[in-house]
Amino acid sequence: MKKLLVLISSVVLIFLIGLVSLNSHSVQDRILNTGLKNILAGVEPFLDKEDSLKVVVCGSRSPLPSPGRAEACILVEAGDDIYIFDLGNGSMDNLTQYQVPWPNVKAVLITHMHSDHIADLPDAHLQSWVQGRNSTLMVYGPEGINLVTQGFELAYSADYQYRNEHHGDDMLPMTIAGFNPIQIMDNQLIPNNTPGLEILPFVVDHHPVNSAFGFKISYKGRTVVISGDTIHDGSVQKYSKDVDLLVHSAISIDLVERMREIAPLPQLNKILFDIQDYHTTIKEAGEISRDANVKHLLIYHAIPTPRNKIMEDVFFRPLVGVFDSYTLSDDGTRVIMPVGSDEVIIDQIN
C-alpha cells in the first residue's frame, strides 16, 4: 500500500514538473525550434541515388469531399526529372510538404480541364517562381489550355505585380511571370530532355468534356499509365498492355447509388446520377488490368473515396475474382519501380 502511494506521488510529481517546464520559455523555445526544423527539413522523398521510375500520388480524391485528401494529382519522377500530371485543389499543399524541388519539375501536364484537375495551377506558378524557375511555367493540356492559363494570368496579374515589387526583379522577374501553354496532340510524344523517357498522350472519352487525355510513361524499360477521367472505351486497356503500373480513376456505382438514395438535396441526387455515365467503374478498372496483363493497379480519384475499411471493402467488392493486385492510394502513396528490375515497391511518404 505504502509502495503504491510512493509510486502514485512520483508519477504526479513528474507530471507536475513536466507541466511547469512546458510553461518555461526556454523549454518552449527548444521544443518549438525542433518542430520548426522538422517542418523545414520535410521528408525528402525525391532524387535518391537509385535510378527508378517513381509515382507519387499528390492528390488522391475525386471532387466528392474526403477530409485530408487533395484532388487529382500524380507526380512522376524519372531519374532526376519530375513531371506533374494534374493539380487539383490541395495538391500544392502536398507538393510543398513533400519538398518537391521545382527546378527539377520539367512540365505540368493536364489530363482535362475539369476544375478538380487544374485548381492549383496558380500556386504551382508561384512556388516554381520562388524556387528559381528560369522561364514561364510550361503547361501541357488539351485544346483550350491557353484559355485556362490566360484566365489565371489575368486573375493573378495584380498578385504577380505585388510580389515582383516586394521581392525584387532578381528573385521574381516579371519576364518569366505567367505560363507557357502547349496543346497536347493525340499520340504525339511530349518533347523532353530526360534520357530514356517517353511520355505518350492518348485520347480518352470523358464526354461531354471535349478533349481529355490519358498518358503512358516509359522510362528505361519501366512503364506506367495514368487514365485521367474516362469511361471504359478501350483506350486505357490498349495502352496498358503489360505495364508495371496502371493509375486509374474509378467509380463505385454501388456506393454512389446508396448515397443517392439518402441524398438530402435533389441537386445532389441529380449530380450523383449524372456522374455515373462518364467514369470507369471499379469492376471495369479490374477487368482492364486483368485483360491488359497489368502488374499492379493503383486506384486514385475514387468516386466516392472510401473513408473507412468497410467503405473500402464495399468499394472493392466487384474486384473479387477479377483482379487482386491493387491498392487504393492515399495522398503520399509512392510507387517505386527501379530500373533493371521488375519490382514494384509501394510505400507511403507522409
Note whether 232 binds Zn ion by CB under 5 A.
no
How many Å apart are CA 130 and CA 218, to the nearest integer? 30
Minimal distance, residue 71 CB to Zn ion, in Å? 7
Minimal distance, residue 207 CB to Zn ion, in Å? 11
Q: In a 3-state reduction of DSSP, which class is residue 23? A: coil
Minimal distance, residue 43 CB to Zn ion, in Å? 27
Count of residues in contact with Zn ion, rule CB under 5 A: 3
Cβ closest to Zn ion, residue 60 vs residue 149: 60
Binding mask 99-118 for Zn ion (x = CB under 5 A): ---------------x-x--
Minimal distance, residue 63 CB to Zn ion, in Å? 6
Binding mask 144-173 for Zn ion (x = CB under 5 A): ------------------------------
Candidate segments 144-152, 179-187, 224-232, 251-259, binder of Zn ion by CB under 5 A: 224-232
Note whether 125 binds Zn ion by CB under 5 A.
no
Give 224-293 as a 3 state SS string.
EEECCCCCCCCHHHHHCCCCCEEEEEEECHHHHHHHHHCCCCHHHHHHHHHHHHCCCEHHHHHHHHHHCC
Note whether 229 binds Zn ion by CB under 5 A.
yes
Residue-wise burial string across 220-241, b where 16 or more C-beta atoms lie within 10 A, e elsewhere = bebbbbbbbbbbbeebbbebbe
Those residues with Cβ within 8 angstroms of residue 336's Cβ, 6 or more apart along the chain or in another chain = 50, 52, 54, 343, 344, 345, 346, 347
**What is the DSSP secondary-structure string of 59-71?**
E-B-SS--TT--B
Cβ closest to Zn ion, residue 114 vs residue 163: 114
Binding residues vs Zn ion (CB under 5 A): 114, 116, 229
